[in-house]
């Protein structure tokens, strides 16, 4: 595998590259300010760029031209790499809607937990939330979860016409229920606690296959998702890997403040999913 990193001039990213080289999982094309990239290895090539925009475009072109297999965001804004991936001339879109999917390993939860969309779609409407759910299910299945249990989150488990996210969650769940043979069980609205805690679900008398045992949480907005993501990392000791789903090539988007460990997790997650 060859990974093109846009904005590789960053100590944390270089630590990730070093660790990945030690593990022998990838070769790298490093795009960024060459004077700040001190690594030397036969398995890396440094391509000097003079702006963040140029780094994003050159790295994207490397995957478009098949010089690299994976595109990874380094030290540049998330919006910039997302806008670059969306450029029509690159023809990187495989689905109508691209979305961010993060996979968590949380000490207090007994299995991986997928959360989407915490970093790309800002305030998805019903149709977009359905596509976000499809994309997350596809990732879960690639990770070996045969029939993922999906909770469409709100702040409550009953529809409240005054709370838009609860109404939309019910509509998204109804859409999936119309296909009973589908590859996932989707329910909503569910509040965070009754999606992931059997005790909380029992307490509220929620009888559901998903409640208390979710594999996937679909959040109503980027703000809710981003705050949940960062709470899990900072307060719950979670490890996380993040990718963009719906693109023809794997795209890794970890937050700039993520640790080297979490960025390496994103890379390992992506390499593991290729070809599945
Ligand atoms: N999937 C497919 N196509 C899309 C998507 C998507 N998710 N988003 C936009 N498009 C298409 C539109 O249909 C249009 O054709 C074109 O792309 C441009 O659309 P705009 O003008 O809405 O898109 P942009 O380029 O202004 O913004 C797209 C972003 C993804 C950059 C934007 O939604 C964004 O800023 N998201 C939040 C990113 C962020 O700040 N994350 C931080 C958390 S760490």
- Indicate whether 262 belongs to any domain: no
- Indicate whether 238 belongs to any domain: yes
Q: What pLDDT was estimated at residue 275?
A: 61
Distance 120 CA to ligand 1 centre (A): 7
Q: What pLDDT was estimated at residue 256?
A: 77
Q: What pLDDT was estimated at residue 74?
A: 95
Q: What residue's CA is closest to ligand 1, atom 40?
A: 79
Indicate if 59 and 107 belong to the same structural domain.
Answer: no
Indicate if 217 and 183 belong to the same structural domain.
Answer: yes
Q: What pLDDT was estimated at residue 258?
A: 84
- Indicate whether 24 belongs to any domain: yes
pLDDT digits (tens, 9 = 90+) for 213-256: 999 999 999 999 999 999 999 999 999 988 999 999 999 998 87
Are 217 and 151 contacting, i.e. CB atoms less than 8 angstroms apart?
Answer: yes
Indicate if 31 and 124 belong to the same structural domain.
Answer: no
Per-residue b or e along 110-148, where b marks 16 or more CB atoms closer than 10 Å to that residue's CB:
eebbbbbbbbbbeebeeebbbbbbbbbbbbbeebebeeb
Half-sphere exposure for 140 (CA within 13 Å, toward CB):
27
List ligand 1's pocket residues with C-beta within 6 A: 78-79, 82-83, 86, 97-98, 119-122, 226, 255
User: 164: how many CB neighbours lie within 10 A of its CB?
Assistant: 13
The domain total for the chain is 2
Report d(CA 148, CA 56) in Å as an integer: 34
Q: What pLDDT was estimated at residue 27?
A: 95
Distance 248 CA to ligand 1 centre (A): 17
**For the domain that residue 17 is a member of, what is the CATH number?**
3.40.718.10
Q: What pLDDT was estimated at residue 90?
A: 96
Q: What pLDDT was estimated at residue 276?
A: 61
Q: What residue's CA is closest to ligand 1, atom 20?
A: 83
User: 239: how many CB neighbours lie within 10 A of its CB?
Assistant: 19
Report d(CA 148, CA 13) in Å as an integer: 32
- Indicate whether 264 belongs to any domain: no
- Indicate whether 266 belongs to any domain: no
Are 266 and 241 contacting, i.e. CB atoms less than 8 angstroms apart?
Answer: yes
Q: What pLDDT was estimated at residue 179?
A: 86
- Best residue for ligand 1 mutational test, from 82, 116, 251 (most atoms within 8 Å of Cβ): 82
- Indicate whether 141 belongs to any domain: yes
Strands 216-218 and 113-116: what pairing?
parallel
Indicate if 105 and 233 belong to the same structural domain.
Answer: yes
pLDDT tens for the 276 residues of the chain, in order: 999 999 999 999 999 999 999 999 999 999 999 999 989 999 999 999 999 999 999 999 999 999 999 999 999 999 999 999 999 999 999 999 999 999 999 999 999 999 999 999 999 999 999 999 999 999 999 999 999 999 999 999 999 999 999 999 999 999 999 987 788 999 999 999 999 999 999 999 998 899 999 999 999 999 999 999 999 999 999 999 889 999 999 999 988 778 898 899 889 888 888 766
Q: What residue's CA is closest to ligand 1, atom 3?
A: 97
C-alpha 105, offset from chain centre: 13
Q: Which domain holds residue 60?
A: 1-94+247-254+271-275
DSSP structural state of residue 276: -
Q: Which residues does residue 28 pair with via DSSP β-bridges, in sequence order?
A: 3, 44
Q: What pLDDT was estimated at residue 165?
A: 98
- Best residue for ligand 1 mutational test, from 96, 120, 266 (most atoms within 8 Å of Cβ): 120
């Amino acid at each position: 595998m060859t990974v093109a990193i846009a904005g590789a001039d960053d100590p944390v990213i270089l630590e990730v590259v070093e660790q990945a080289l030690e593990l022998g999982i990838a070769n790298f094309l490093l795009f960024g300010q060459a004077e700040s990239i001190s690594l030397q290895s036969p398995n890396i090539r440094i391509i000097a760029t003079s702006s963040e925009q140029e780094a994003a475009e050159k790295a994207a072109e490397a995957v478009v031209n098949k010089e690299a297999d994976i595109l990874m965001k380094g030290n540049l804004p998330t919006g910039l790499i997302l806008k670059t991936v969306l450029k029509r001339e690159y023809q990187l879109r495989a689905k109508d809607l691209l979305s961010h999917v993060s996979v968590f390993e949380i000490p207090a939860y007994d299995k991986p937990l997928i959360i989407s969309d915490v970093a790309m779609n800002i305030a998805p409407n019903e149709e977009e939330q359905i596509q976000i759910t499809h994309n997350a299910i596809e990732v879960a299945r690639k990770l070996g979860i045969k029939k993922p249990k999906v909770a469409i989150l709100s702040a409550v488990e009953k529809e409240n016409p005054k709370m838009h996210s609860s109404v939309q969650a019910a509509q998204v769940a109804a859409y999936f229920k119309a296909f009973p043979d589908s590859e996932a069980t989707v329910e909503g609205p569910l509040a965070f606690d009754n999606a992931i805690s059997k005790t909380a679900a029992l307490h509220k008398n929620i009888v559901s296959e998903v409640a208390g045992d979710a594999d996937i949480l679909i959040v109503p907005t980027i703000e809710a998702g981003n705050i949940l993501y960062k709470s899990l990392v900072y307060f719950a000791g979670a490890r996380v890997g993040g990718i963009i789903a719906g693109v023809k090539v794997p795209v890794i988007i970890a937050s700039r403040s993520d640790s080297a460990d979490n960025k390496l997790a994103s890379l390992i997650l992506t390499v593991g999913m290729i070809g599945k």
